[in-house]
Structure 1
Amino acid sequence: MTQPTPSRFPVPAIETLPEDIRSRLLAVQEKSGFIPNVFLTFAFRPVEFRAFFAYHDALMEKDSGLTKAEREMIVVATSSANQCQYCVIAHGAILRIRAKNPHIADQIAVNYRKADITPRQHAMLDFAMMVSRDAHLVSEADFTELAAHGFSQDDIWDIAAISAFFALSNRMANVSAMRPNDDFYLMGRLPKASTGS
């Protein structure tokens, strides 16, 4: 059996990549022990790699009214609706780790309406799903509903932007047949082994 490829598109050898991209891939590998296939897939187009990850980081790594776990909830819920295997698996792993909850990613991927989340998070995901699938239906009533749950204008922008950005990511992952790394499947499901004797 042949080893599955990360993508339908050519994956460049790391040593052939521009220095900034090569350094980022090696830093990710150092931190997580592997290079997620999204990095290898987008490395096919270096200019787009830089733009994609700059926007990703601007949305997903900053401090704001949304926790990092809530950001990942948006990714998992909308990616499931968009049938993006890569993003559900990869961001499900990140969500389990950030929420410190081994069940939450599966619950949200299958049906966020039945997940063990707060009413505030439920409203957040309702809006994220609307942006992902029916953005033309967004109205002032949706802003009023979110404000009632304590979301600021900046928070609402973040919910919309994360949903919209990952709609792009979902589509590119599906078109490229981006394969989730095997490492993602077990991440955050079991407590880390104790290092004590």
Structure 2
Amino acid sequence: MPHIDTQNEQPGILGLISYRPRTGRALTELADALLRDEQGLSRGERELIAAAVSSGNGCTFCAASHGAFAAHQIPGGNEAVEAACANPHQAALPARTRALLNLAEDVRKGGREVTEQRVAEAREAGADDVDIHDTVLIAAAFCMFNRYVDGLNANLPDDERFYEELARAITEHGYTAAVSNEPPG
């Protein structure tokens, strides 16, 4: 049961967004900016970083939802997501993706855990400044999203198919359009 009465039954962050639409809109716009940008990282890589950070933080809702979103957008689907979340250091992923997941893991532990060596490893694997910047920002933002969802003990969906249905809407329309009453545009 949630720690507050959100006045709705929507699971996870969706219930919190509905409860406080003004801050909810800002959060969905942030998610769109972080996870749907066309420069640098692919959308699937961005979602994979969000899923891995959320998994590491133990945030069930965010790990499952962003895992589903990533699986819809990366080669290897669910298997690749599960491997990345279980052990990003050894996942059978492109070297650049694996290096960026390792960087995101350091951010998840704490911003000062990011070392010059970790950044150099990402560069050696083919990451550029935009990739590194966006990885750090996505990882940091998902620590906040995870703590928001878990800190208020948001509801989990009753049916695991919820994540698949939401994944289709998010990958097609983006966060702001998919979670609002506005028509996708």
Q: TM-score, with normalisation over the residues of structure 1?
A: 0.73
Q: Distance in 2 between matches of 1:62 and 1:36?
A: 26
Find runs of 4+ consecutive structure 1 residues off by over 4 angstroms: 185-188
Aligned amino acid, residue 58 of structure 1: A
1:99 lines up with 2:74 in the alignment: yes
In structure 1, what is the equivalent of residue 64 of structure 2? 89
Per-residue Cα deviation, 1:93-116 (whole angstroms, up to 9, x for no partner): 111111252312222222223322
Superposed CA RMSD: 2.3
Unmatched 5+ stretches in structure 2: 168-185
Identity of aligned residues (%): 28
Aligned amino acid, residue 65 of structure 2: A
Unmatched 5+ stretches in structure 1: 15-34, 189-197
1:13 deviates by 5.6
Q: Distance in 1 between matches of 2:46 and 2:119?
A: 18
Q: Distance in 1 between matches of 2:8 and 2:63?
A: 26
Over alpha carbons, which structure has the higher Rg? 1
Q: Is the 8 A contact 2:44 2:70 kept in 1?
A: yes
Q: Is the 8 A contact 1:36 1:180 kept in 2?
A: yes
In structure 1, what is the equivalent of residue 50 of structure 2? 75
Q: TM-score, with normalisation over the residues of structure 2?
A: 0.77
The number of equivalent residue pairs is 163
Within the candidate set 133, 144, 151, 2:120 is matched to 144
Q: Is the 8 A contact 1:9 1:41 kept in 2?
A: no
Q: Relative to structure 1, is the Cα distance of residues 122 and 96 closer, same or farther in structure 2, using a 3 angstrom cutoff?
A: same
Q: Is the 8 A contact 1:9 1:44 kept in 2?
A: no
1:147 deviates by 1.7
